[in-house]
Chain A
Amino acid sequence: MKSAWFAVLGIAMGLMLIGTMLVPDAQLFRDPTMARIMFTHVPCAMICSGFLIASAWHGFKVLKNYNDTSATKLHAAVELGSLFAALTMVTGILFSKIMWGEYWHGDPRQVSFLIVLFIYGGLLALRAAFPDPIRRDRNTASYALAAILPSIFLTFVYPRLKAVQQQSFHPSNTIVEGQMDIFYSVGLYGSLVLIAIIAIVVFKLRVRTELLARKLENHGNLETHSGDSASPRMVRPVAVSPEHLD
C-alpha cells in the first residue's frame, strides 16, 4: 500500500514537472523561459516558513512536556527547514543572475531570507554544541521558540513594509491578489501542494528513523539499568593530581 502511495506521488511529481515546462513563457521577464524557476522557488520559501513555525511549535511542546516524539519532530523540522531554505536561496540566486544580472543584488528580500537561513544555521550550530541529548533538545527548542518573532518579522512583516517594497524587485502581492495568469497559477499551486506533500512524507520518515535510532541508543541502558543505581550522567570532569596516578 505504501509503495503504491509513493509511486502515485512520484508520478504526480513527474507530471507536475512536465506541466511546468509546458506552460507558456512569461513574456514580462527578461528571460521568459527561465521564469519557471518560480515553480520551485516560491513553494520552497513557503514550506521553509512553515517549518520555522513547526519548529517553534514543537519547541514549545518540548519545553512544556519533554518527550522524544516532540524532540524528534523539532529536529526534523529544523533539518528540513534548513534544506528548503537552502533550496530557496540557491534558486533565488540563480533567478537573480538570470533576470537582474547579478547573483547577489542586495534586494531587501534576499537579505531578509539570508537572515532566516542564518536562524536555521544557528539552530543547527546550537544542536551540535550539546553532547547531552536532553540538553540539546531543550536548548534547541528554546532558540526555536525565541526565534519565532524575528522569523515572522523577516518573513511576513519586513518584505511588506512600504519602504522595502519600493526598493525590492520581488513582487509583494502578485499571488495574494491573483495577478498571475491561469497557467502560472495552476503550476504554482500544483507545485506547492506536491512539494508540501513530499516535505511532509520526508518529515514523517525522518521522525520515524530518529525515534528508532533513539530506541536503539537506549537499548543497552534498558538491559543494564536497575533503577536504583547512580545516574549514568557525568556532571563535571574530575581533576586527578599526578601523585594519584602513581
Chain B
Amino acid sequence: MPSPFNRAWRACLRKEWRSEIRNPHGLYLSFLFGAMAMASIMFVTGTQRPTAEMAGGLFTIVILFSALQAVPRLFLAEEEQGTFDLVRQWGSLDALWLGKALFAGLQQLITALVLGVLFAGIIPLPIVSPIHFWITIPLLGLAVANVLSLTSSIVITAQNRWILSTVIALPLLFPFIFLGISALRVSFGIGSLEGGWQAIVALLMYGIAPLAIGPNLARTLWNERKDPSQNPIGQHNEVKP
C-alpha cells in the first residue's frame, strides 16, 4: 500500500502530465525556445565551423534557454492562477514539490533529447563519442530542471517572480554549464574520455543535489501554518511584551 507521501507526489505528477497533455504549453514552449536559441546561434556563427568547446557551450546554452521559462512556469503559474493554496491542501508539501520537480525533469528530458537530435544534425562537427553525447544531453536537461525547480519554489510568492526565478537560478547553473561543456567537448573528440566520464558523474551528483534539498525547503517555505507571523507577536520575535 503506497504511503501518503508517495500518493501525493504521484498525484501531483499525474496532474501536471494531464494538464500538459490537455494543453501542451510547457513542452511546446520549451522546445520552441530551445529551437529558436539554436537557430539564432546558427545565424550568428554563419558558415564558421565552431570548435568542440564552442559547440559544447552553444548546446548547453540552448538547453538552458529551453528550460528558463518552461520550468518556472510549473510553479509560478499556480500562484498566478490562484490555485497554489488549493494544491497545498492535497498532501505533504515536500511530496508536491517532488511531483512538480519530477515533471519538470521529464519535460526537460524530452526537450533535451529532441534538441539533441536537431543539434547533432545541424552542427558541422563529427560526434566522435556518441555515448558521451547521448548521456550528457539528458543529464544536462534533468540537472537544469532540478535547479530551476528549486529556485522557482523559493520565489513563488515574490514580486517580479518570473524575472527573479531566472536571475537567482543563473549563478547556480554555472557549474552545470562548465560540466556540460567538459563532457560535450569529449563527445566532439577533444579531451580525454576519462575527463568526460568525470564530468558526467559530477553532473549527475550535482544534478541530484537539488532533489535532496528542494523538498525540505518547500516544506518550510510553503507552510503557512508554521508562519510565525500568524502567531501572537511575542512568539516570532525576541521582544518580550
Contacts and interface: CB of A to CB of B under 8 A. Distances in A.
Interface of A: 63, 66-69, 112, 115-116, 118-119, 121-122, 125-126, 129-135, 138-139, 142-143, 145-147, 149-150, 153-154, 158, 211, 214-215, 218-219, 221-222, 225, 227, 231, 233
A221 B236 contact: no
State the 8 A-B residue pairs at the shortest beta-carbon distance, nearest first.
A129-B158, A122-B168, A118-B171, A119-B171, A68-B237, A153-B175, A142-B217, A134-B229
B155 A129 contact: yes
B81 to A, nearest CB: 13
Contacts of B229: 132-134, 231, 233
Given A125-B167, A129-B155, A225 B233 contact: yes
Given A118-B170, A119-B172, 19 more contacts: A66-B228, A69-B238, A112-B174, A121-B167, A121-B171, A126-B164, A130-B157, A134-B229, A135-B227, A138-B221, A139-B221, A146-B172, A150-B171, A150-B175, A158-B175, A215-B239, A222-B233, A222-B241, A233-B230
B35 to A, nearest CB: 27
A221 B217 CA distance: 30
Majority secondary structure of chain B interface residues (helix, strand, loop or mixed):
helix
Majority secondary structure of chain A interface residues (helix, strand, loop or mixed):
helix
Nearest to B191: A163
B161 interface: yes
Contacts of B159: 129-131
16 contacts: A68-B238, A118-B171, A121-B167, A125-B167, A125-B168, A126-B158, A126-B164, A135-B157, A142-B220, A145-B217, A150-B174, A158-B175, A211-B238, A219-B239, A222-B241, A225-B241
